[in-house]
Structure 1
């Protein structure tokens, strides 16, 4: 039987391996790919694709010298722009716009020849950068929306590989430290790698069959979920398997008993994560709704691999895989003072005081959310600023009287003239220029007096949307506004859905209403405290100028779904001990003593895998990885160890209300004996 399972997995890998290799090719990382279909800016992007030449790639060439541009500098700019026009098909003839102090000259450049081909757009941007070079104190930077998309795309191109190798490295080190075995760590790590390949193939299939949006963000998170959650399930299973090997002579029987014992907890754990992620399907944002099924297939791939392939491999390897500490049949583990037994004993001496103190601490940490910085602008979204961002900053500094980034208005062609005139008279508008026409639509470029993504430009965009009937208002800044609005709407819809889905699964597993409520309150408190710590770190320590709009929702989904995992491990073992006749306090302490080490190891692994996100050059991913990693550690070492344990001791049998454990005497405890063959 184990050989058959391994053979089936090998056959599956051969079949789906080529699909996993295509996973990176279907990722979409433009800002508009994250937006809902109904957003104005999404409609603008779609209509632009249908205009003559298709989607345009808009750049701004910025020539700057601190002491003022010389005649030679201006001639250099003219020659380089002409060379760009010769090398590429441009939309119109670029005209230079000097700054008032004479230190800067900008040339807006646009081309429709790359169209929607991402490689062609990147080649165009890179080609323009090769042509335009400064020297002798003359600075030349290529900015604009097209350059920003290219720089963003290059970051996402490296995310999959960076995350995969960094996460594998972190998990490898931690497994070696946890197992202290030269061989055992290889088994769950190899199985997790197989699960990651299967998840990539499945996600690619979702995109091809159901047009699920896959972004660099969702792809990276899926990798972390497979390796982090999969390793957690492996830690729980291997711990229980080691325990059962002392009671069963044959490894096959020990594994079968171990799966029966911890299988329901692993199944419920993965079910809560999958259910929480599926709630993201209700999101308005394409990126969030796509992350739901993509993350779900990652968790399910980890579940299937760790409950089929991992047991089969462990059984085939036998007891020797645990060398040098091999659990012999009939032996008893070496008696030693358990750290978690000591922690549990200290917590249960004054449970009310411990519970109240922990609640006050979490509440105080949550106050840090008041210090979270405001919304994250595009220019602040990188930890290391690429050329497109520095060009944007130069333009904002040298051209304070007008924006260098157009607001795009799409109007019916028969009313385009009137729309343009109305736009000129709108407050905050500096310049209006008509663009392409086709298919009954006309593109109009509107330049605001305020700098991009400032409150002044936001007011101008809102005024245009209110005053121009029958039109769509889009562009990079409008996309950020639509993104923030959709995130606000999604929080209101998805948070209750996640709580309801997780609560139903917990009720089914624990046969109680009180225990699930206790666990949900705990993970919500952890989420608030983790965000509060972020508020104390992001601005004052890391110097971040803003908070990603999706941080609150995504961190909530992951911390609730993943945090409940450890509550499931603890409470399921507590219920098992209660069914065997243990009194409530004894059941709680036994559950903490037997699962505390596993939960601590799993929490450290999961926190470390999400912490890998903090090494990436995107502020939004750094913030997400930090909050989830901190939340998992809080949940592991404070909430599960102290607060859930003390709350269970205080509630006694009420924690299982209205299940039968809350109202009927428990049966006599049955001691387990070694089982001979």
Structure 2
């Protein structure tokens, strides 16, 4: 069988096409079977119960700093200790006043009045404090630590900005600092769900209309995708409530893309097979049953590789990556469940007329033309070694581009358009090049706080140490470095602080803050790559070995998708900075893109190799299976790959650099896999290897002519070759 275009239940495309039993034979009913109504009723009941739960997912979504930090990092410990102190976690903001040419006396007076108003309106830690003025007299900054009791960070920053919006012409007043950045980030995440849903819905709708050329058919898979999205959101919400699952704006956005992308792919594959079966089977119910038997195992294996790959993220140390694993797995499982139950029921209920105006009539002969994939396949098998070598060199050359991948993405560079907090950080960096304007956060046990403070003050690179709150046995310090934030100098100071404070016995000191968080993310991501990547490879390889019953073919597919990942990341590295203007790459990009491209990309190889295996089992010599397999799977898989790439590319419209980068790399990788690797490289490698591609399985020992349910002695089996390319998009 193949993914939606296989032929395990009938064959041929000409006048001799099988049409099944005569109408009314055996007294069978012509209407939908009872299970159709049962499935529809079940989903109606489930939808009614799940819709209210799905609406609650946004309420449990977490986008706090801890949600994106490593579970075992010092910066995470600091964030948790500070959050548990009286007043909770603080909203640290910097209010920056700047005028080109120098601040006037009126500017300074207005800035002081606004600072006093802010300190009086909110509960602060350490009060107003002393403002810092730049040497050139153009910039003045007030730093505030506003207690959590004052409200959510986004609300606090909004209120502060209402105060600072009242200023004289020519005076720039900006609210930045970690709190300002977090508020801007929260605003972006709050808009992601709606923007992403609408954009994805529009893209999928257009592609389905173009694919099916029908005024009705596109609605059926689209409705099913919507049901799958509701089911996914409801199940994820329940997992959050009953378990320790972190759902962030990042994982929520990726969840939606997976539901739409994977769900639409499964629908394309099943509908293509169903339409084919309708030409030779009288009743839609029977045609659908044959379709599910034929392409069901391939769909299960496809979903299984994605789920297995995503669940490997549970071994990650990064909280957001570990939470993404189950969230993404639920999305794929729900998409598969809906597309193999609700979609078949709706199609059977609607009958052949749902395909109008291109209705597949019983016994009809579809258009027969020489497929582009038949020509490609014939060309590849004539020059397999040269094509394999050329393609491998090309992808290898693109992979070299990864050496130009920009450095880690700083918080200030995380937005595609610069909000006030980013402009404030840049203004401060120019005004105070000699010292940091954002503190390094340090916590230590209160009984050893004095010694910890002395050690911090004596550490090289520290300009000042301010003592903060003390509660629950902990004391908080604000440590200012002599180097600017997120610079190599400040990172060196943090390393020295951690080493020196670690020698203070009993202090249990930990060093955090925005720069330390970035350092910890980088270290944790490097660790996660070493752990998760082998797990993903092993899980996907195991599923392929079970499905293809060999070792060489699975190794070939895994090696191919790994090469695609490296090439896609290399392309991203070549365009991120010069074309998109991005100053860095998200530390989690290599790992996330690897998981998605290996788990998703291997699917199309599964469909091609599985079809080749079916050809071999039908008696076709091993050296003759490549062209018919590529011809049969080419069109529909090309459509599915294009849809999947398009849904991931929707992430590029969002205002967060990390999601834009992920969407770009995965979309490029899916297109490379669909149109280069599967079409040329895997085909060429299979042609070179011949029967050895199935080693050590039985097919590697001799050309099959196999018997039994998969072989030619099966009364319902017809040799798979000779089909037209079934994809409307590619016709």
TM-score in same-fold range (> 0.5): yes
Indicate the residue corresponding to 2:160 in structure 1. 128
Indicate the residue corresponding to 2:75 in structure 1. 41
Gaps of 5+ in 2: 1-34, 503-507, 707-711, 720-731
Instruction: State whether structure 2 residue 520 is matched by structure 1 residue 520.
Output: no
Instruction: State whether structure 2 residue 82 is matched by structure 1 residue 82.
Output: no
The one of 547, 565, 578 equivalent to 1:540 is 578
Deviations 1:136-180 (A, max 9, x none): 211100111111111001101111111111011101111111111
Measure the CA separation in 1 of the matches of 2:143 and 2:124. Answer: 11
SS of the equivalent of 2:486 reads coil
Measure the CA separation in 2 of the matches of 1:240 and 1:214. Answer: 36
Deviations 1:575-622 (A, max 9, x none): 111111112233221111111011100010000000011111111111
Measure the CA separation in 2 of the matches of 1:517 and 1:455. Answer: 42
Alignment of structure 1 residues 319-338 onto 2, 5 Å:
319-338=352-371
Measure the CA separation in 1 of the matches of 2:67 and 2:148. Answer: 21
The one of 698, 708, 716 equivalent to 1:660 is 698
Gaps of 5+ in 1: none
Deviations 1:244-301 (A, max 9, x none): 1111111111111111111000000000000000000000111111000000000000
Q: Is the 8 A contact 2:66 2:80 kept in 1?
A: no
Indicate the residue corresponding to 2:683 in structure 1. 645
Q: Is the 8 A contact 2:691 2:703 kept in 1?
A: no
The one of 227, 231, 242 equivalent to 1:198 is 231
Instruction: State whether structure 2 residue 163 is matched by structure 1 residue 163.
Output: no
Instruction: State whether structure 2 residue 213 is matched by structure 1 residue 175.
Output: no
Instruction: State whether structure 2 residue 137 is matched by structure 1 residue 102.
Output: yes
> CA shift at 1:113, angstroms?
4.3
Measure the CA separation in 1 of the matches of 2:366 and 2:625. Answer: 20
Instruction: State whether structure 2 residue 56 is matched by structure 1 residue 22.
Output: yes
Measure the CA separation in 1 of the matches of 2:425 and 2:261. Answer: 38
My pick for the range that moved more, 573-582 or 138-147, is 573-582
Instruction: State whether structure 2 residue 96 is matched by structure 1 residue 62.
Output: yes
SS of the equivalent of 2:625 reads helix
Q: Is the 8 A contact 2:691 2:702 kept in 1?
A: no
Measure the CA separation in 2 of the matches of 1:426 and 1:58. Answer: 24
> CA shift at 1:312, angstroms?
0.6
Alignment of structure 1 residues 216-295 onto 2, 5 Å:
216-295=249-328
Indicate the residue corresponding to 1:529 in structure 2. 567
Indicate the residue corresponding to 1:12 in structure 2. 46
Deviations 1:307-352 (A, max 9, x none): 0110110011111111111111112211112111111111111111
Deviations 1:75-110 (A, max 9, x none): 111111122223222221233211111111111112
> CA shift at 1:135, angstroms?
2.3
Indicate the residue corresponding to 1:2 in structure 2. 36
Measure the CA separation in 2 of the matches of 1:238 and 1:113. Answer: 54
Instruction: State whether structure 2 residue 240 is matched by structure 1 residue 207.
Output: yes
Following superposition, which runs of at least 4 residues in structure 1 exceed 3 angstroms of deviation?
Answer: 668-673
Q: Is the 8 A contact 1:81 1:94 kept in 2?
A: no
SS of the equivalent of 2:135 reads coil
Q: Is the 8 A contact 1:580 1:666 kept in 2?
A: yes
Measure the CA separation in 2 of the matches of 1:297 and 1:290. Answer: 11
Higher helix share: 1
Instruction: State whether structure 2 residue 125 is matched by structure 1 residue 93.
Output: no
Deviations 1:43-80 (A, max 9, x none): 11111122222111111110111110110001111111
SS of the equivalent of 2:341 reads helix
Indicate the residue corresponding to 1:599 in structure 2. 637
Instruction: State whether structure 2 residue 464 is matched by structure 1 residue 426.
Output: no
My pick for the range that moved more, 30-39 or 283-292, is 30-39
Alignment of structure 1 residues 630-641 onto 2, 5 Å:
630-641=668-679
Instruction: State whether structure 2 residue 227 is matched by structure 1 residue 189.
Output: no
Deviations 1:483-540 (A, max 9, x none): 1110000000010000000011001111111110010010001001001111111112
TM-score by length of 2: 0.90
Q: Is the 8 A contact 1:114 1:124 kept in 2?
A: no
Measure the CA separation in 2 of the matches of 1:27 and 1:8. Answer: 29
Measure the CA separation in 2 of the matches of 1:365 and 1:109. Answer: 48
Instruction: State whether structure 2 residue 426 is matched by structure 1 residue 393.
Output: yes
SS of the equivalent of 1:382 reads coil
Indicate the residue corresponding to 1:447 in structure 2. 480
> CA shift at 1:667, angstroms?
2.0
Measure the CA separation in 2 of the matches of 1:332 and 1:583. Answer: 27
The one of 106, 114, 124 equivalent to 1:72 is 106
Number of matched pairs: 671
